[in-house]
């Protein structure tokens, strides 16, 4: 009887002692199964991840990160499109900054504003012109980046943020970049030739100069003049000139914020910028540029007979810029980039105000009937 009771008392303890061993054995079995699956799926040519990705050493995280058989799943993001391209093409796409489209947006947005302001009362902007200028902005921004990298390759090697650019890193030679530049400019010329003669001459004038910050603003916002002339056949200076000045002021705002990312490296290599010029007074200068930009937008809107939605958008732009200037930490590169990139949304907001403000206008019925008659004839 005693032995039976003793055995009954000991059995639960035996179970308790064996549980850790059972769990450990089960975990080991699962780990072996996991390793077998990983080995089976991760042979050369049939792996779920690139073995060169040191920080991705498990099967599921790489799968969630978009890897399949050594390649990324196709993504419609700019970086995803570049990564999905053939390896021999990727350096050229990165050279024209296709993976970082914010510069293309900033070049394109003044064109959109001008085309929108040039639309007839009660009408949407000319979609054909928006498409042409979009392609032109992509090509010209790519050409500008190519020229910039060709000229600055020695400086880029000394700056950590730019040392991996295709020319600086040696992925593309200067001659290859020059040939690529010729191709981009040729295609951009083809886009320009689709416009009227006045706009062709005006567009060609934008190629005369290329210097940073202020003159960069002069060239980067040329679309504020070109968009109107492409629609109307000539430049409406009472609208285009204040719009152009506003664009230049806007460029000084976002490009100064952008320049603060590299101010330490610029100081070492001797590159000048508005970030180094303004230093701790940057926010005061940016506030002045903001006032000039908003004044130009109000004047352009008044001369274009804009309506309430437009001025509401201008107020929203003012709030956006005030937040940028107040919140930006000029000593944190990541914050400077975030504020710089937010200017795309600012530009789209203003464009939305232009379009809705134009639709708010009453259509000139006589002008509309004249257009209908000309089309029917």
- Other CB atoms within a 10 A radius of the CB of residue 17 amount to 10
Where do the H-state alpha helices sit in the chain? Answer: 2-41, 60-65, 78-84, 90-95, 102-118, 127-151, 153-156, 166-169, 174-192, 197-205, 214-220, 223-232, 237-259, 263-269, 274-278, 282-303, 308-327, 333-341, 343-360, 365-376
CA distances from 79 to 99, 101, 222, 267 (A): 4, 9, 28, 30
Q: What is the C-alpha separation between 375 and 291, in angstroms, rounded? A: 44
Instruction: Kindly write down the DSSP assignment for every residue of 245-263, as one continuous string.
Output: HHHHHHHHHHHHHHHGGGH
CA 149 to mean position of chain CA atoms: 18
Burial pattern 89-109, b for ≥16 Cβ within 10 A else e, equals ebbbbbbbbbeebbbbbbbbb
> CA-based angle 159:163:168, to the nearest 5?
120
Q: What is the C-alpha separation between 246 and 289, in angstroms, rounded? A: 9
Structure tokens at 325: 């200037």
Q: What is the C-alpha separation between 368 and 363, in angstroms, rounded? A: 7
pLDDT at 272: 75
CA 201 to mean position of chain CA atoms: 29
Q: What is the C-alpha separation between 48 and 282, in angstroms, rounded? A: 48
- The SS3 assignment for 68 reads strand
pLDDT at 376: 60
Ranges under pLDDT 50 in the chain: 1-20, 22-23, 27, 34-72, 208-211, 365
pLDDT one-digit tens code per residue, 132-154: 999 999 998 999 889 889 988 88
pLDDT at 374: 61
- Cβ contact 114:358 at 8 Å: no
pLDDT one-digit tens code per residue, 215-241: 667 778 888 999 999 999 888 999 999
Domains and CATH numbers, the chain: 78-375 (1.10.600)
pTM: 0.72
| Residue whose C-alpha is closest to residue 230's, from 191, 188, 185 | 191
Q: 76: which residues sit within 8 A by CB, 6+ positions away?
A: none
pLDDT at 355: 96
């Amino acid at each position: 009887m005693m032995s039976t009771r003793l055995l009954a008392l000991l059995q639960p303890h035996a179970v308790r002692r064996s549980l850790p061993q059972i769990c450990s054995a089960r975990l080991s079995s699962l780990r072996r199964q996991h390793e077998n699956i990983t080995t089976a799926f991760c042979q050369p040519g049939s792996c779920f991840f690139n073995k060169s990705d040191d920080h991705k050493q498990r099967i599921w995280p790489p799968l969630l990160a978009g890897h399949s058989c050594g390649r990324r799943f196709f993504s419609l993001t700019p970086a995803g499109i570049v990564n999905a391209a053939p390896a021999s093409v990727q350096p050229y796409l990165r050279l024209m900054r296709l993976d970082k489209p914010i510069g293309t947006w900033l070049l394109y947005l003044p064109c959109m504003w001008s085309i929108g302001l040039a639309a007839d009362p009660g009408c949407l902007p000319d979609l054909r012109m928006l498409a042409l200028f979009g392609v032109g902005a992509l090509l010209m921004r790519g050409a500008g980046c190519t020229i910039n990298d060709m000229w600055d390759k020695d400086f880029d090697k000394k700056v950590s943020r730019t040392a991996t650019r295709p020319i600086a890193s040696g992925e593309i030679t200067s001659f290859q970049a020059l040939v690529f530049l010729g191709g981009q400019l040729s295609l951009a010329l083809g886009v320009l030739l689709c416009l009227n003669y006045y706009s062709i001459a005006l567009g060609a004038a934008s190629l005369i100069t290329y210097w940073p910050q202020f003159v960069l603003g002069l060239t980067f916002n040329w679309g504020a003049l070109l968009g109107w002339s492409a629609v109307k056949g000539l430049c409406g200076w009472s609208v285009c000139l204040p719009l152009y000045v506003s664009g230049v002021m806007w460029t000084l705002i976002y490009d100064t914020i952008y320049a603060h990312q590299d101010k330490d490296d610029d100081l070492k290599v001797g590159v000048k910028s508005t970030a180094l010029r303004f230093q701790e007074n940057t926010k005061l200068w940016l506030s002045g540029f903001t006032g000039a930009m908003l004044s130009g937008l109000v004047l352009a809107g008044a001369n274009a007979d804009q309506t309430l939605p437009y001025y509401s958008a201008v107020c929203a732009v003012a709030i956006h810029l005030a937040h940028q200037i107040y919140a930006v930490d000029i000593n944190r590169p990541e914050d400077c980039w975030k504020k710089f990139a937010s200017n795309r949304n600012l530009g789209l907001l203003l464009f939305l105000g232009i379009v809705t403000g134009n639709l708010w206008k009453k259509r000139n019925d006589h002008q509309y009937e004249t257009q209908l008659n000309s089309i029917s004839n």
